[in-house]
Amino acid sequence: MIKKTTLLATAAAVTLGGFTTIASAETLRWARAGDSLTLDPHSQNEGPTHALSQQIYEPLISPDMEAKPIPALATEWSVSPDNPNVWVFKLREGVKFHEGQDFTAEDVVFSINRAKQESSDMKELLVSITDVRAVDDFTVEMETEGPNPILPNNLTNLFMMDKGWSEENDVVVPAEFDTSEETYAVRNANGTGPFKLISREPDVRTVLQRNDDYWGIGTFPMEITEIVYTPIQNAATRVAALLSGEVDMIQDVPVQDLQRVADADGLKVQNAPQNRTIFFGLNSGDDDLENDNVDGANPFADVRVRRAMNLAIDRDAIQQVVMRGQSAPTNVIIPPFVNGWNEELDAYPAADTEAAMALMQEAGYGDGFEITLHCPNDRYINDEAICQAMVGMMGRIGIQTNLVAQTKANHFPLISGKETDFYLLGWGVPTFDSEYVFNFLVHSTTDDRGSWNAARFANTDVDEMIQSLGSEVDIEKRNETIASIWEVIQEEQVYLPVHNQVLNWGMAEKIGFPVQPEDQPHFKFMTFN
Amino acid sequence: MISFVLRRILQSVIVLLTVGLVAFSLFRFVGDPVENLLGQERTVADIERVRDQLGLNDAFPVQYFNFIKGIVVDGNFGVSFRQGRPVADIIIERAPATLELAFVSGLFAIILGISLGVYTAINREGWISSAIMTLSLVGVSLPTFLIGILLIYVFAVELGWLPSFGRGETVQIGWWSTGFLTASGLKALILPSITLGLYQMTLIMRLVRSEMLEVLRSDYVKFARARGLSQRAIHFRHALKNTLVPVITITGLQLGSIIAFAIITETVFQWPGVGLTFINAIQFVDIPVMATYLMLISVLFVAINLIVDVLYYIVDPRLKSDASSGAN
């Protein structure tokens, strides 16, 4: 009989540098709706999976609690003075993996190549890398196909594994989906991160313990000695667990329970804008639409109709009624942290039904038309309710909208298969640069770009400008191009932006922890008072 | 007898295969697993490659055939899309949680159901009986998730006596993880068991009550009274015994639905059983897990029905003579 009791974390009094003594043993009981899907750091490019991996594994460059890149396993990085296509990374010395192996340049080369395998879900972020090589034990060079000014942004969730450990355990490539076996890396982990894996039962409970040999002790607070992570799917149960003190922190407080948590003794709610914009897409590219009642013409192809719809959206009402104040209305499909954002783009027009009606009449649709709106009901905060509000607002300008709200597994294939003409989508920008948005949502659909452009927007000038961004090293010139692409997008009203989501974390009063815009807690920063 | 059982087993296999076929024909309406498997940076080529790898491009009868072939030829239920682990491992890991929960709530339903049933039958007019009967109506009509949330609110949030989620600490005995051997494991069982067993309890209670009332009106009870037997002996030695025959039949049949309906209770209490695994599988469109779970549940129902049929056959001699005379 093996008893799975919580390991009483031994409170080792570590005396080092800035943060002197860490005397008391602090256990953090953390819950959120979904569990990590796998501990294999390159198998799934997905939020909750990365959030757990960030505690155990480390990337070269890590996002901090404001999602700004800070040095992790790399201490410095710059473009090589000899070759603009090469990035040089200086690695942190003296770092050890949890099982004792030394971290060297060889591990970086191995990990990057592992993440470039076909079965890796991270490979799209690394397509531009043609070669990665170790110059010496603590210097790595990455060569890209043409200059790639934003390569470091793509590495913030790219975790480093030990080469020897991976070979020993036969996990040199991420598992294929049609494998018949479970690979060792799915439930075991050997990283360099601030916490070590003690036990893992997927979907039930994961226990981590502070890594007392972590290089960052003294740099980060590192006050937690033990983390007990339990996914709790049901929103009411999750809130109950926080209210009853069975967990110390939950990551997704439903908007209807915010007040209750905030009012409870010893608890608080913290919020911050999330890196995710919610917007509607319209098929403006096809000659005729499948899902409308207009024969032989596409009403969305007329920019006046698109502008009329944008004017008809009452964003303030959505914010106050549907989101209970928990959203930031916007007129652009990127959140404020992203390079290319500015207040002018963000400023949204007040709802003006009359002006919208006038535009509709001008476009010849004064009597309106019928259209089907596709919407997910389990992906974004109050997604279905937003669509219901949209149906009413469109009705005011004569657009009869039939709402089809369904689960995300049914909704997203309509977008990737380009079968919908009017849909709700939310988009986050992990690279914090507009190019990412352009590549997926604005560039016309080709083999490697425009995979989410169900707006069927196609403009060869814009396509050329987008392609030029990938290798433009002159930052000023690059930003100018970004600005002129946004100008076209706004002018053409390619999308109908609604708002940026707001994240709400509920936690015990004694915890000091800001909300991270990517919904990724980095527990090494957590403090207690 | 043997030919009867063999015939029933053959019929059961046909039922199982049909359930599987219907399940597979429905999976494509649940959604496309590829959307969950690949991140938002995936290309069209990635989608095609993964669909091909997983055989999602095949027609559903082909997918179904491959699934059955995997079971029959390799004894393999496939690998979960969501967790990347063999489905059999996941189910075995999760089964103890569901079975223990079903066992405790079954026990709760039987003990409390029979006691309250007898009490309300004997004391028909008392206000306690009326109160119990009224409350039992509430138990039948409130949906499970609402009862669960109410219990959590009262006993976990307001009173702080019991945990709101999970199984507490478990002890591993071989491959079986049990919550019976720790205090927190036992405490964690209370609320989910009540939630899951409440409906069955009220069902048994009402059944016992009406049977008991029937029996109490019968002649032999009147004669027993005339003989001057004590009330206690009449109620428990004579009346209750005769009440239990139909109760046992119903209870047996309800056992299957306790396990199958554990899905909702498990979701509300984050109870790490097979039901919760199934819900996760639906959301992720994890076809191997969904298929295996549905097949297992139908095996369970088919097996229970088979046993009941065989028991009837043994108990009721008329069935035997029918079979031997070859009459239909």
pLDDT digits (tens, 9 = 90+) for A97-126: 999 999 999 999 999 999 999 889 888 889
Nearest chain B residue to A437 by CA distance is B41
Both structure tokens of B308: 């009941």
CA distance B172 to chain A (A): 6
Contacts of B76 in chain A (CB under 8 A): 180
CB within 8 Å: A43 and B37: no
Cα(A17)–Cα(A22) distance, integer angstroms: 12
Strands A249-250 and A26-32: parallel
pLDDT digits (tens, 9 = 90+) for A402-457: 999 998 888 988 998 889 999 999 999 988 899 999 999 999 988 878 889 999 99
CB within 8 Å: A182 and B84: yes
Q: Phi first, then psi: give them for residue A73, nearest 5 degrees.
A: -80, -15
Q: Nearest by CB to B165, from A37, A237, A413: name it.
A: A237
Q: Residue B186 contacts by C-beta under 8 Å, 6 or more apart in sequence?
A: B168, B179, B180
Q: Phi first, then psi: give them for residue A66, nearest 5 degrees.
A: -105, 10
* Residue A87 pLDDT > 60: yes
Per-residue confidence at A7, pLDDT binned at 50, 70, 90? very low
Confirm if B187 and B203 have CB atoms less than 8 A apart.
no
Beta-carbon pairs below 8 A across chains A and B: 167
Torsion angle (degrees, nearest 10) of CA A179, B88, A39, A119: 10
pLDDT digits (tens, 9 = 90+) for A274-298: 999 999 999 999 888 888 888 888 9
CB within 8 Å: A179 and B84: yes
pLDDT digits (tens, 9 = 90+) for A475-486: 899 999 999 999
Per-residue confidence at A5, pLDDT binned at 50, 70, 90? very low
* Residue B296 pLDDT > 60: yes
Contacts of B96 in chain A (CB under 8 A): none
* Percentage of chain B lying above the pLDDT 70 cut: 95
CB within 8 Å: B44 and A451: yes
Residue A283 is classified by DSSP as: -
pLDDT digits (tens, 9 = 90+) for B64-85: 888 888 888 888 888 888 888 8
Both structure tokens of A496: 């109908």
CB within 8 Å: B157 and A240: yes
Cα(B149)–Cα(B165) distance, integer angstroms: 11
Using the Cβ of A231 and the Cβ atoms of chain B, whether some distance falls under 8 Å is answered with: yes
Displacement of CA A3 from its chain's centroid (Å) = 38
Burial B75-93 (b: 16+ CB within 10 A, else e): ebbbbbbbbbbbbbebbeb
Q: 3-state class of A64 per DSSP?
A: coil
Per-residue confidence at A19, pLDDT binned at 50, 70, 90? very low
Interface of B with A in 195-254 (CB under 8 A): none
pLDDT recorded at residue B220 = 84
Quick one: which H or E segment has residue A109?
helix A105-115
Q: Nearest by CB to A237, from B53, B169, B270: name it.
A: B270
pLDDT recorded at residue A56 = 97
pLDDT recorded at residue A225 = 95
pLDDT recorded at residue B54 = 85
Q: What is the ipTM of this complex?
A: 0.85
Confirm if B285 and B30 have CB atoms less than 8 A apart.
yes
